[in-house]
């Protein structure tokens, strides 16, 4: 009886191992060399799909070029960053078939690390030798502008907000509130600057100065990226944290945008003689999640209407 139980246990363990290995292998096998989109583009990630608009003007088939574009709608955490990375993989994989790439950026910025990743991802397109353009209809400020920097050309609608080249950190101190309820927070660290400015501790002048220095270092990185891709900018004028209307920035010759033009106009112009290919990802949202998202967007729209 004991022998039978041991044999059954071994068989069960082997079966479980086989199932786990098969699942792991299936998960890792993201790219199949014969997997293609309907238009013949190689497909690297299963989530991506294409929407194709053929050229409006008749052309010889072998003369038609492909222009790809995608939309980036940013929030404080750049929640679309992983989708951005996958779409860029698709573009680089098919770069021999592509004339240029266009990104429609709409973001007020947010987390340094998240938008730093977006900047690095988009920079890959430039490094791959792909002609890159960015269109801004509403806002590309702070991290939203940072991620747009590596474009060969930046278009913006006249009332789009751009710039905000700076770093901000807001940390309220709730220690007095806690102490009113006889709660005395304590933080123990090793390392002189492990915790400088926090929610619950009073910072010393030295700690505040160190924290401010960290913000200044991040700001310096932002300015270096700006100088790399837009060498004619005057950092003294633009790296102040201010934001401008795109039309105003052009009048002031700040060199933050290259041309005043809405994305719809630019896409229509490109589609005259080229295949316009939108790359996007299939998303599966529950009915409740979708409803909450729509209601939130409607509320934000009503609030912004009073601004």
Listed residue (224, 234, 243, 233) closest to 140, CA to CA: 243
Residue 259, token pair as written in the block? 């041309």
Catalytic residue among 26, 60, 61, 194: 194
Identify whether 95 is a catalytic site residue: no
Catalytic residue among 100, 142, 150, 249: 142
Q: Which residue has the tokens 């222009």?
A: 67
Identify whether 142 is a catalytic site residue: yes
* Beta-strand pair 48-53/274-281: antiparallel
Sign of the torsion formed by the C-alpha atoms of 264, 266, 269 and 275: negative
CA distance 19 to 28: 14
Enumerate the β-bridge partners of residue 33. none
For the chain, report the end-to-end CA distance as a whole number of angstroms: 79
DSSP H helical ranges for the chain: 2-28, 81-93, 112-127, 143-146, 175-180, 205-229, 235-238, 246-251, 263-270, 287-304
Q: In sequence order, what DSSP letters do the residues of 88-152 get, joined into one string?
A: HHHHHHTGGG-SEEEEEEEE----HHHHHHHHHHHHHHHHTT--EEEEEEEEEETHHHHTTTT-S
Active site residues: 142, 194
């Amino acid at each position: 009886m004991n022998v039978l139980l041991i044999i059954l246990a071994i068989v069960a363990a082997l079966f479980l191992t086989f199932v786990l290995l098969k699942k792991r292998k299936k998960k890792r096998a993201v790219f199949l060399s014969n997997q293609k989109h309907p238009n013949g583009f190689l497909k690297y990630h299963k989530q991506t799909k294409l929407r194709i608009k053929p050229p409006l003007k008749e052309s010889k088939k072998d003369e038609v070029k492909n222009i790809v574009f995608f939309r980036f709608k940013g929030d404080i955490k750049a929640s679309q960053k992983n989708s951005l990375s996958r779409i860029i993989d698709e573009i680089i994989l098919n770069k021999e078939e592509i004339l240029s790439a266009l990104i429609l950026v709409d973001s007020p910025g947010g987390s340094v690390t998240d938008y730093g990743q977006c900047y690095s991802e988009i920079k890959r397109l430039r490094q791959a030798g792909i002609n890159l353009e960015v269109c801004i209809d509403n806002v590309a400020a702070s991290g939203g502008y940072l991620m747009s920097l590596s474009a060969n050309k930046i278009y913006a609608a006249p009332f789009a907000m751009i710039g905000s080249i700076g770093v901000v950190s807001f940390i309220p101190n709730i220690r007095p509130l806690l102490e009113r309820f006889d709660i005395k927070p304590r933080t123990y660290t090793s390392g002189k600057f492990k915790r400088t400015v926090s929610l619950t501790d009073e910072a010393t002048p030295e700690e505040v100065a160190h924290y401010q220095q960290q913000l200044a270092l991040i700001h310096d990185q932002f300015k270096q990226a700006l100088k790399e891709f837009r060498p004619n900018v005057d950092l003294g004028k633009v790296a102040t944290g201010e934001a401008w209307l795109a039309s105003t920035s052009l009048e002031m010759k700040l060199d933050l945008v290259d041309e005043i033009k809405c994305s719809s106009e630019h896409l229509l112009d490109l589609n005259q003689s080229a295949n316009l290919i939108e790359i996007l990802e299939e998303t599966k949202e529950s009915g409740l999640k979708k409803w909450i998202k729509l209601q939130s967007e409607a509320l934000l729209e009503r609030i912004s209407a009073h601004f």
